Amino acid sequence: MRLIVMGQQAFGKDVLAKLLDAGTDEVVAVYCEPDKDGKPVDPIKAFAQEQGLPVHQPANFDDQSTLDTLAGHNADLMVMAFVNVFVPEAARDTPTHGSICFHPSLLPKYRGPSAVNWPIIMGDTVSGFSWFYPSDGLDEGDCLMQWECEIGPDDTVIDLYFKKIYQPAVESVLDVVDHYRTGTPPRIVADESQASYERRCTARHAKIEWNRPVGQVYNLIRGTNPAPGAYTTFNGAKLGIFDVARVPGDGISSRVRAITDDGIEVQCVGGRVLLKRVRPDGGDKVPATDWAQSVGLKPGDEFGT
């Protein structure tokens, strides 16, 4: 089959590499986002150029010349591996078999750009990825394939995405294309009663409210680690919170209850969060105990001030 690969960053590059290594299909072109001033070249673009593949970087697909260029590749299928640019129906349907798109959640749950963060923040115990038939809606459409994995009680974004989802997702592209090659791509109808849309997880969502149940606080911190990074304040200065653990203990929420060699114990409702690694505003990540000593933090002090 003749394939167009559209994607970005490491995931797009690795999907492209997987298809080229398999050698079963011919990649006729690569599409990625336009270059950004002051930013490194997208890895998928650099890799495609090394392989001598045509690379296109349209900002959109609104004009006929862009659509004509796409059609000129006479592709059978367009594989969309992490795409931020909106791709309208006229472009998606240009290949003989249309397009198939990757999303790092079990659709229709967690449609949107931060699909790895939100399941952790919400306390879910299962996530995974989907290959779906894209429409004009945000991550809408029936699925061709889904794969699921456990979200461990201490998993961060790195654990869930890079250690669990990433490699199986890259390898799955061969199965996806094989479904088209054999002419039997399945269609899993989306259960819209389970659908959810979540906005991009930003610093606005990552501010810690220590007077909430300890599970909610802990899930927010690990669901934003490493990005966008949970944070609190102390004496008016912002403090990023990264590596943490749950520990038992009672007391008044929002208060520092203990400072040990292991870190800082902060009381929430129903338990404590042990802060192991923090980042002062404008500084580097440091052991929490070192930071506590540097600012004179003591038991009884309150975060969020």
User: Do 89 and 216 belong together in one domain?
Assistant: no
Instruction: Note whether residue 300 is domain-resident.
Output: no
Place of tokens 């004179």: 296
Phi, psi for residue 92 in degrees, rounded to 5: -60, -35
User: Do 164 and 250 belong together in one domain?
Assistant: no
User: Do 93 and 61 belong together in one domain?
Assistant: yes
* Average pLDDT, integer, range 76-85: 94
Instruction: Note whether residue 302 is domain-resident.
Output: no
User: Do 242 and 265 belong together in one domain?
Assistant: yes
User: Do 168 and 264 belong together in one domain?
Assistant: no
User: Do 160 and 216 belong together in one domain?
Assistant: no
The DSSP line for the chain is: -EEEEEE-HHHHHHHHHHHHHH-SSEEEEEE-PPP-TTSPPPHHHHHHHHTT--EE--S-S-SHHHHHHHHTT--SEEEEES--S---HHHHTSSTT-EEEEESSSTTTTBSTTTTHHHHHTT-SEEEEEEE---SSTT-S-EEEEEEEE--TT--HIIIIIIIIHHHHHHHHHHHHHHHHTT----B---GGG--B-----GGG-B--TTSBHHHHHHHHHHTTTTT-EEEEETTEEEEE-SEEEE---S-TTBEEEEETTEEEEEEBTEEEEE-EEEETTS--EEHHHHHHHHT--TT-BS--
Residues 6 or more apart in contact with residue 297 via CB below 8 angstroms: 234, 256, 259, 264, 291
The answer on pLDDT for 305 being more than 90 is no
CA angle 68, 70, 74 (to 5 degrees): 100
In terms of Cα–Cα distance, which of 217, 8, 227 is closest to 117? 227
The answer on pLDDT for 248 being more than 90 is yes
Instruction: Note whether residue 304 is domain-resident.
Output: no
User: Do 68 and 174 belong together in one domain?
Assistant: yes
Q: Is the previous residue joined to 228 through a cis bond, with omega within 30 degrees of 0?
A: yes
User: Do 207 and 183 belong together in one domain?
Assistant: no
Instruction: Note whether residue 301 is domain-resident.
Output: no
Q: What is the mean pLDDT of the chain?
A: 96
In single-letter form, the type of residue at position 173 comes to V
Q: Order the strands of the 237-241 sheet from edge to edge.
A: 230-234, 237-241, 277-280, 286-287
The answer on pLDDT for 215 being more than 90 is yes
Q: Report residue 84's pLDDT band, with 50, 70 and 90 as the boundaries.
A: confident
- Please give the torsion angle defined by the CA atoms of residues 78, 96, 143 and 147, in that order, rounded to the nearest 10 degrees: -50
Last residue of a domain, one of 138, 161, 194: 194
In single-letter form, the type of residue at position 264 comes to I
The first and second tokens of residue 101, run together, are 């798109």
Which pLDDT does position 234 carry in this prediction? 95
Give residue-wise pLDDT tens across range 55-72: 999 999 999 999 999 999
Q: Report residue 53's pLDDT band, with 50, 70 and 90 as the boundaries.
A: very high
The answer on pLDDT for 266 being more than 90 is yes
Which pLDDT does position 217 carry in this prediction? 98
* Average pLDDT, integer, range 110-133: 97
Full residue range of the structural domain in which residue 63 is found: 2-194
User: Do 148 and 225 belong together in one domain?
Assistant: no
Instruction: Note whether residue 93 is domain-resident.
Output: yes
Last residue of a domain, one of 194, 217, 249: 194
Q: Report residue 19's pLDDT band, with 50, 70 and 90 as the boundaries.
A: very high
What total number of domains does the chain contain? Answer: 2
The answer on pLDDT for 184 being more than 90 is no
Report the percentage of the chain scoring pLDDT > 70: 100
User: Do 187 and 224 belong together in one domain?
Assistant: no
Last residue of a domain, one of 194, 223, 258: 194
CATH number for the domain spanning 250: value is 3.10.25.10
User: Do 147 and 238 belong together in one domain?
Assistant: no
pTM for this model (two decimals): 0.94
In single-letter form, the type of residue at position 225 comes to N
User: Do 85 and 182 belong together in one domain?
Assistant: yes
